[in-house]
């Protein structure tokens, strides 16, 4: 990203993509938890269905945050959202990998590991593009 404008365009594209991704996944998991639990090889029981629905609700929250901040020009806000994503998706990567290794999830759980890991890496990379923006933003703001 050679100029300040391109990082904002990249942020808008990434935030829009993640709003759609988390919105679709959140809706799917919330509305059809048993289908997803079976696909990922997890035990379908009332408790797992409840917690998977709660995970779907959390994904919808993330979708709303991405959608609501995609037009932000505040580097501190953008960086906060990006770092939050790194923490969330980094932890979900580790939890999913542990679940596959322990047999809680089936081999299709590696898809979750790859998806969460990729999103964490994307957000970590983009967060570096907003590390130096705070000072310029504060100076330009009346």
Helix (H, G, I), strand (E, B) or coil at 43: coil
Residues 6+ apart with CB under 8 A from 75: 130, 133, 134, 136, 137
Could you read off the pLDDT of 82-98 as tens digits, one per residue?
Answer: 999 999 999 999 999 99
DSSP label of 132 = S
- pLDDT at site 139: 44
Mean pLDDT of 101-119: 97
- pLDDT at site 5: 82
Mean pLDDT of 21-37: 97
Paired tokens of 100: 């596959």
Residues 6+ apart with CB under 8 A from 113: 93, 96, 97, 100
pLDDT at 137 over 60: no
d(C-alpha 90, C-alpha 113), whole Å? 9
Considering the entire predicted model, what is its pTM? 0.86
């Amino acid at each position: 990203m050679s100029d300040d404008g391109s990082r904002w365009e990249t942020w808008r594209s990434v935030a829009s993509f993640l709003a759609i991704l988390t919105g679709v996944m959140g809706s799917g998991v919330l509305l059809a938890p048993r289908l997803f639990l079976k696909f990922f090889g997890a035990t379908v029981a009332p408790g797992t269905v409840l917690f998977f629905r709660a995970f779907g609700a959390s994904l919808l929250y993330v979708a709303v945050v991405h959608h609501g901040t995609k037009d932000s020009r505040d580097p501190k806000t953008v960086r906060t959202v990006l770092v939050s994503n790194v923490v969330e998706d980094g932890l979900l990567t580790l939890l999913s990998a542990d679940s596959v290794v322990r047999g809680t999830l089936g081999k299709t759980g590696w898809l979750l590991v790859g998806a969460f890991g990729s999103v964490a890496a994307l957000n970590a990379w983009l967060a570096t593009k907003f590390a130096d923006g705070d000072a310029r933003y504060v100076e330009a703001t009346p």
